Every structure is written in structure tokens, then in C-alpha cells.
Amino acid sequence: MWNQQLVVFTLVSALYYVQAGVPLRRYETLMMQQSPQENPELGLYDDNDKVVRLTATNFNASVLEQNRSSLVEFYNTYCGHCRRFAPTYKELAAELHGWQDVVAISAIDCAAEENNGICRTYEVMGYPTMRYMGPGYKPAAGNFGQSLTSQKINEIRSQLAALIAAENQTANNPHWPNFTPVAEGETVSALFEGLHSQREHIALIYEPENSTLASETALHLLHWPAVQVRRFSEAAVATKYQLDINSNQVALVNRQNHRQLLEVSEQSSAAYAKAIENALLSLHLTPRPRLLLGKGEQAKINNATNKDIVDYVHRNKHLVYQADLEQAIRTILHNEVSKVNEIKGEQLLALQRFLTVLQRYNPLGTNGRQLVSQLKDYVVQFNQALKGADFEQELKRLEAKLGSIYSSRHFVGCIGSSPSKRGYSCSLWTLFHFMSVQAAGNEHSQDPLEVLQAMHGYIKNFFGCTDCAEHFQAMAARRKIWSVPTKDEAVLWLWAAHNEVNQRLAGDATEDAEFPKKQFPSAESCAQCHHGTASAANSEYNWNMEAVLSFLKNIHNPQFVSRYGLQHEELLQDTLEKMRAKRQISNVFSDVDMQMGMFLYAFCIIMMVLAFKLFAFKSGYRKKPYGHDLLGKV
Ligand SMILES: Cc1cc2nc3c(=O)[nH]c(=O)nc-3n(C[C@H](O)[C@H](O)[C@H](O)COP(=O)(O)OP(=O)(O)OC[C@H]3O[C@@H](n4cnc5c(N)ncnc54)[C@H](O)[C@@H]3O)c2cc1C
Ligand SMILES: *[C@@H]1O[C@H](CO)[C@@H](O)[C@H](O)[C@H]1NC(C)=O
Ligand SMILES: *[C@@H]1O[C@H](CO)[C@@H](O)[C@H](O)[C@H]1NC(C)=O
Ligand SMILES: *[C@@H]1O[C@H](CO)[C@@H](O)[C@H](O)[C@H]1NC(C)=O
Ligand SMILES: *[C@@H]1O[C@H](CO)[C@@H](O)[C@H](O)[C@H]1NC(C)=O
Ligand SMILES: *[C@@H]1O[C@H](CO)[C@@H](O)[C@H](O)[C@H]1NC(C)=O
């Protein structure tokens, strides 16, 4: 029997590791606030579920005055009806996990004594009871949340979407979809007004009265930065976009007013979302990168050891980490620039240009933005020469004046298996990739060479790895850096140049064995980026450049830059708001690639069945099958 258990156990833990989530702070924080119940035997939900567990301790922090909604199930562990409903609620939470930036699916156990106060206050009459609390919710007499009456998944999902869509647009939640129905008179350019350049498409969906088809679809697609779903109910709008409201269709419109009609297999939000995803994939657009968490990792998000970080980064190599961007900037300013004796001539110009570009695409918090901006103002005053010591003195004066600048003091994505490995040069690449992508999304910048020129000047004049700098200049000349025609091409130029360096250094003595040099992104990180399967023997990669571009834009989108491992995240509080105001980033989205999660789930179930079959068959003629035999076959 233990073999069966082993198989199940292994598959279940495999499932756990493919749990998809997003590097979104608020959710991470929320999961961390989950305090264990006094009696761990109690409670119907555990770490393997996507249900946020509430207690008297974290209830207010999770539900009250939030920028997103909550669905709260009040239940009693011992109530049979609650137990029967629990699997449904878990399924709902898993299905709607991708909506987490807009609504948290949570539950509180009223059988736990410490929760008595909450269950009393919220006037829970029967168990289970589901209540919806909107953004900004505050409890008040007569307002203890809106009850949801159905216990069927489809109906709960639909009621929830209706409640969410009826909320006033919550401007302070960038993930909130735009539920305002499209009016007949609205032009296509009006639809795109104010949207970030990454939003290349709008999906128009007819939503009949009392239906939530389009609203649910919008929520399902929170993790696709390339599309915004808009609903409409006027037949005239359908006519305008040549949509037949009697069949299942979506109009996909782009900024050039090009329309594509998508036929959907059935009238369900899942089918609509799938049809749109497929259309985006065939346009080589990619979803937001997923976050893969290991067991127990959630609890360590703000308290990670070096080993935790290495494990996390191994699982999430495709992410860009805020900590690395900051380390690069700190090292540039404190070390590389400060240690030059006299900065003059071309070197001074290079510094001025670099600081100008950094000021424009600065990932630091408020204080850090002030620092770079004032430092640049200081440096541009000089037109002959500036002493490194004076620069350092001014840097320190400004840092003392402005207060804390850096939200962390260690590498995360660039962490090495030992302190002498990786680190700064890795973070420097990361910073320049980041800036090149920000420039591509900045509608006020027309110069395709803006970032490449700043980088070239910086590497040539300041980068302390002299042979790297020489290699880079030779490569820049060979790859015709000065003829890059567009900002998108600049992003790809840097990517290709970096891959050339990766190729050259693969297997080099300086390589960190734990982080071998590979062509980036790997097929695991971005399947769409590779045309077909590049065989291991054949190192010629067949890249899909459009998908690579979309992927690079996703991972460097400031909203998706991971804040994992930061010690002072509060310093970044308003960074996203500021960037949004400057339209440097869009109202983009949530995380889980639900489709993928479901697929893997189904896959694991099939594998389990197969494993059992195999076991049953084998045990017929073999008394002691070993666990590893079975696993080997699986
Ligand atoms: C301009 C420059 C030139 C260099 N030249 C040399 C040299 O000539 N000789 C030498 O020994 N070292 C050179 N280095 C250092 C070397 O490239 C690595 O930075 C160092 O070896 C650390 O490697 P790493 O594994 O941490 O990843 P890095 O190559 O530093 O990559 C950093 C991160 O960027 C991401 N990444 C990787 N490839 C790409 C890509 N193509 N596009 C986008 N993102 C990507 C990955 O997430 C990776 O973790 C140079 C560095 C720079 C900045
Ligand atoms: C939670 O909020 C309610 C209503 O604002 C308040 O009365 C209560 O004291 C709070 N509880 C805790 C533990 O902060
Ligand atoms: C939305 O806001 C308007 C005006 O700000 C207000 O009159 C209305 O009651 C609000 N609706 C909801 C559902 O909160
Ligand atoms: C909600 O948004 C407001 C305004 O941007 C911000 O001050 C507040 O901290 C946010 N609250 C949460 C819980 O994110
Ligand atoms: C929509 O719901 C309302 C209230 O339940 C009902 O009065 C109305 O007839 C419904 N409309 C349609 C088209 O079903
Ligand atoms: C951080 O981790 C250490 C060791 O893993 C532990 O002792 C400590 O209590 C943790 N701190 C917090 C705030 O969780």
C-alpha cells in the first residue's frame, strides 16, 4: 500500500510546486498574515488551498478598507453542510485565483473560539454564509456585506462578477478592469486613450442584460497586459464592429483600428477568455510571467535567508527583481563613479547622459528619484571636469538630506552561489534591459538610441570590468548599435547582444555552476519565444522575435518586477502610482496562468490514474514493486 501512497504523495507535492501565483505584494502580505489557528486540527482549508484563511487577528487588515473586494465564507468546521460545501469553495478559489488583485476568496471558521467576536459582529445567522465586501468596505449597522445565496460555482462566479462590475471604478487599484460599457459614439482612438502602449488590443464583448459574460472574461484575462476587455450592451455597437450578437463572437480591435472577429465555441466566460488568449498567442503576445512558489515559501517572503533566495530565484529565473535594479544603481553611484579621480571630457558627458536617462526610467522610490534628479542637476553644471571625490561628497550629502533611498541591500535575482559570483555585473545588465523597455513604452521619447547610447557611454567610461567594456564596444560596432532604427529594436538589440555574451561565456571558469549561462529566455520561461523546439545538439536558436519582445516587455513592466526579498518595501509605496500618472506603466494585471494550472492539474490526475493502473497490473505478478520503479515509469 505504501507505494500507492508514495505515488499520490509525490504527485500531490508535484502539484504544489506548479502552484502559480504572482509577485504581487498585497497578496503575498495577505497570505503571510494568515495566522495559524490555535487548534490546527480545526478549519476546513489549509495551505494547499487558494482560500485566504481569516481569523480575528487578520480579518480587519484583509477585509476592511482595501483596494479590492473580499468574498468571505463564514463557516463552522463541525457543520456537515459546510464540510460538503468546502470542496466547491476550494474549487471556486482555485478557479478565481487569477482574480486575486480584484477579489480575495477567503473564509473564517466560526467554530474557533477566538473568532467569536467577528462572527457575532457580522450577524451570521446560518452556516455557511458567503458575504461580499467591496473596496473600501467598513462595517456598519445594516452593512455586514452582501449575502450570496447560491452554492453553485457558476452562479457564485456570476454573482461575484456582477457585484464587482457594479462597483465604482476604483482608481486606486490599477488591476481593476474597465467595466464602463462602450458607447456607440466612442471612436477606437478614444478607447485606447490613456492606456499604456503595451495594451495593444481591446476585446469587445456583447453582454446582454443580466449576464456577466464579458465581466467574467475581463477578470479571467487580468494577466494579459496586451489586452483590455470591454463590454457593451447596445446593439448599435455590435453593428459598428460587425459583430453578430446572436452568435458567440469577440471583436479584437488594435490601435490601428484593425478588427479581427473571433468565433467562440460556447457561451461561457472560460471559452471567451480562451479564444482571446489564443488570438493573442498567435499574434506572439505573451501573458504576464508566472511566479512559482515552493512549499512554505510564502511564509518567508519578507524573511528570506540566502538559501531561500537562491531556491526562489531558481524557480523564478524569468523574473526581474527590484533588489537587483537598486543594487546596480547603488554600486554605480557609490563605487564606480565615485572612485574616478577626475571625470572629464567624454567621461563627463557619458555620466551626464547616463544620469539623464536614469532619471527618466528610475525604478527607485520617491527619495531615490529625488536623489538621481538632484544628482543629475549637480553633474550637468560642470562642463570641464568634476572630481570623483566631489561627486561622492554631493551623493552622500543628498542621501543624508533625503532619507532612506534603497529598499534593500542585497542581490536577489543576481545572487550568486558564493559572494564572488554574479552580483553587480548581472544587475547592470538587468538595469539596462529595464531602462530599454521603459523607453520603448514612453510615448514622449522618440530617440531609439536613448538608452543604448547611455549604456555604451557608461560601459566604456565607468564599468570596472575593463575587458568586458572592450568586448562590448567591439560587439556594439560589429552589431551596428548606432543604426538601431526603433525603440523596440533597441530592446531586442540589447537582448541579442546579451545572448551573444552568454554564449561566449557558457562553460567559462567565471560561470556560477548554480546559474549556468544559457540563451535567454529558456523554453520553460517562454515557450512562445521559441519557434519549434531547438534541439539540444543544435545550438542554433530559432527565435520568435515578436514573442521575445512581448516577453521582455512583460518581465520588465514595473508592475511585474518582483519585490521578493526587499527589506524596506515601504520606500516604494508610491512608485507605481507615480509611474502610472506619467503613463509609464499601464493598468495591468494579475497573475496566475489559470489555464496552465488547470491543465497541469488534469495532467496530474491522469498520471495518478495511470500510476494506479500500472501498480495494480504489476502487483499481479510481482510481490514487491518498489516505489522508484513506479516513479520511473511515471
Ligand atoms: C556590458 C557587459 C559586458 C560584459 N562582458 C563580459 C565579458 O566580455 N567577459 C566576461 O567574462 N564577462 C562579461 N560581462 C559579465 C557577464 O556578462 C555576466 O554579467 C556575469 O558573468 C554574471 O552572469 P550571470 O549569470 O549573473 O548573468 P548575466 O549574464 O549577468 O545576466 C543577468 C540576468 O539577465 C537575464 N538575462 C540573461 N540573458 C539575457 C538576455 N539575453 N536578455 C535579457 N535578459 C537576460 C537573466 O535573468 C540573468 O540572470 C559583461 C557584463 C556586462 C554588463
Ligand atoms: C476591527 O474593525 C472594527 C470596526 O472598525 C473595530 O470595531 C474592531 O475593534 C477592529 N478589530 C481589531 C482587532 O482591530
Ligand atoms: C458611485 O459614485 C457615485 C458618485 O461618486 C455615487 O453617487 C454612487 O452612489 C456610487 N455607486 C456605488 C455603487 O458606490
Ligand atoms: C489603496 O490605494 C490608496 C491610494 O493609492 C493607497 O493610499 C492605499 O495604501 C492603498 N491600500 C492598499 C491596501 O493597498
Ligand atoms: C434582469 O433582471 C431583472 C431583475 O431580476 C428583471 O426584472 C429583468 O426582467 C431581467 N432582464 C432580462 C432581460 O432578463
Ligand atoms: C525569520 O526567520 C528566522 C529563521 O528562519 C526566524 O527565527 C525568525 O523568527 C523569522 N522572523 C520573522 C519576523 O518571521
Predicted confidence at residue 171, as pLDDT, reads 58
Question: Is the CB of residue 67 below 6 angstroms from any atom belonging to ligand 4?
Answer: yes
Q: Looking at the structure, do residues 22 and 113 belong to the same domain, yes or no? A: no
- Please identify every stretch of the chain with a pLDDT value under 50, giving residue numbers as ranges: 1-28, 31-33, 35-38, 40, 537-538, 584-600, 617, 619-634
Which of 250, 282, 314 is at the close of a domain? 282
Nearest to 50 by CA among 18, 85, 80, 95: 95
Q: What is the dihedral of CA 603, 604, 609, 613, to 10 degrees?
A: 100
Say if 634 falls within a structural domain.
no
Predicted confidence at residue 487, as pLDDT, reads 96
Say if 511 falls within a structural domain.
yes
User: What residues does ligand 5 touch, defined as CB less than 6 Å away?
Assistant: 209-210
Question: Is the CB of residue 60 below 6 angstroms from any atom belonging to ligand 2?
Answer: yes
Say if 561 falls within a structural domain.
yes
The neighbour count for residue 482, using CB atoms within 10 Å, is 10
The rounded Å distance from CA 569 to ligand 4 centre is 14
Q: What is the dihedral of CA 523, 527, 528, 529, to 10 degrees?
A: -10
Q: What is the DSSP string of 67-94?
A: SSEEEEEEE-TT-HHHHHHHHHHHHHHH
Nearest to 561 by CA among 355, 323, 313: 323
The rounded Å distance from CA 57 to ligand 2 centre is 10
Which atom from ligand 5 is nearest to the alpha carbon of 209? 13
Q: Helix 366-380 to helix 346-360 angle, to the nearest 10 degrees? A: 150
Torsion over CA: 341, 346, 348, 352 (sign): negative
Q: Looking at the structure, do residues 546 and 444 belong to the same domain, yes or no? A: yes
Which of 133, 165, 197 is at the close of a domain? 165
Rounded Cα distance, 449 and 488, in Å = 11
> What is the domain count for the chain?
4
Statement: the pTM of the whole predicted model exceeds 0.75: no
Q: Which ligand is nearest to the CA of 212?
A: 5
Q: Looking at the structure, do residues 221 and 265 belong to the same domain, yes or no? A: yes
Nearest to 199 by CA among 608, 543, 583: 583
Q: Helix 346-360 to helix 424-440 angle, to the nearest 10 degrees? A: 60
Name all contacts of 460-464 with Cβ < 8 Å and 24+ positions apart: 460/350, 461/346, 461/347, 461/350, 461/351, 462/332, 462/336, 462/337, 462/340, 462/347, 462/350, 462/351, 463/336, 463/428, 464/335, 464/336
Q: Looking at the structure, do residues 194 and 224 belong to the same domain, yes or no? A: yes
Per-residue pLDDT of 247-289, as tens digits, reads 999 999 999 999 999 999 999 999 999 999 999 999 989 888 7
User: What residues does ligand 3 touch, defined as CB less than 6 Å away?
Assistant: 166, 168
Say if 264 falls within a structural domain.
yes
CA 209, chain centre distance (Å) = 33
Rounded Cα distance, 368 and 362, in Å = 8
Q: Looking at the structure, do residues 493 and 564 belong to the same domain, yes or no? A: yes
Which of 570, 587, 606 is at the close of a domain? 570
Predicted confidence at residue 300, as pLDDT, reads 61
Question: Is the CB of residue 427 below 6 angstroms from any atom belonging to ligand 1?
Answer: no
Predicted confidence at residue 169, as pLDDT, reads 67
Q: Looking at the structure, do residues 394 and 272 belong to the same domain, yes or no? A: no
C-alpha cell at 315: 524557480
Say if 179 falls within a structural domain.
no
Segments in 361-483 forming alpha helices (H): 366-380, 388-402, 424-440, 450-461, 466-478
Say if 610 falls within a structural domain.
no
Burial status of residue 263 (CB atoms within 10 A of its CB: 0-12, 13-18, 19 or more) = exposed
Q: Looking at the structure, do residues 8 and 81 belong to the same domain, yes or no? A: no
Q: Which ligand is nearest to the CA of 140?
A: 2
Rounded Cα distance, 478 and 42, in Å = 66
Question: Is the CB of residue 139 below 6 angstroms from any atom belonging to ligand 2?
Answer: yes
The rounded Å distance from CA 251 to ligand 5 centre is 26
Predicted confidence at residue 297, as pLDDT, reads 58
The rounded Å distance from CA 172 to ligand 4 centre is 6
Q: Looking at the structure, do residues 135 and 216 belong to the same domain, yes or no? A: no
Range of the domain at 63: 52-165
Q: Looking at the structure, do residues 402 and 515 belong to the same domain, yes or no? A: yes
C-alpha cell at 97: 485565483
CATH code of the domain in which 249 resides: 3.40.30.10
Which atom from ligand 4 is nearest to the alpha carbon of 573? 9
The residues, any chain, with a CB within 8 Å of residue 325's CB and separated by 6 or more, are 363, 427, 430, 431, 434, 561
Q: Looking at the structure, do residues 121 and 195 belong to the same domain, yes or no? A: no
Rounded Cα distance, 522 and 511, in Å = 18
Rounded Cα distance, 114 and 124, in Å = 16
**In the sheet that 227-232 helps form, which strands lie side by side, from edge to edge?**
227-232, 201-206, 249-254, 259-263
Rounded Cα distance, 295 and 288, in Å = 22
Nearest CA to ligand 1 atom 30: 426
Say if 607 falls within a structural domain.
no
The rounded Å distance from CA 403 to ligand 6 centre is 27
Question: Is the CB of residue 26 below 6 angstroms from any atom belonging to ligand 4?
Answer: yes
Q: Which ligand is nearest to the CA of 167?
A: 3
Burial status of residue 177 (CB atoms within 10 A of its CB: 0-12, 13-18, 19 or more) = buried
Q: Looking at the structure, do residues 152 and 195 belong to the same domain, yes or no? A: no
Q: Looking at the structure, do residues 63 and 147 belong to the same domain, yes or no? A: yes
The 3-class SS string of 526-541 reads CHHHECCCCCCCCCCC
Say if 247 falls within a structural domain.
yes
Q: Which ligand is nearest to the CA of 233?
A: 5
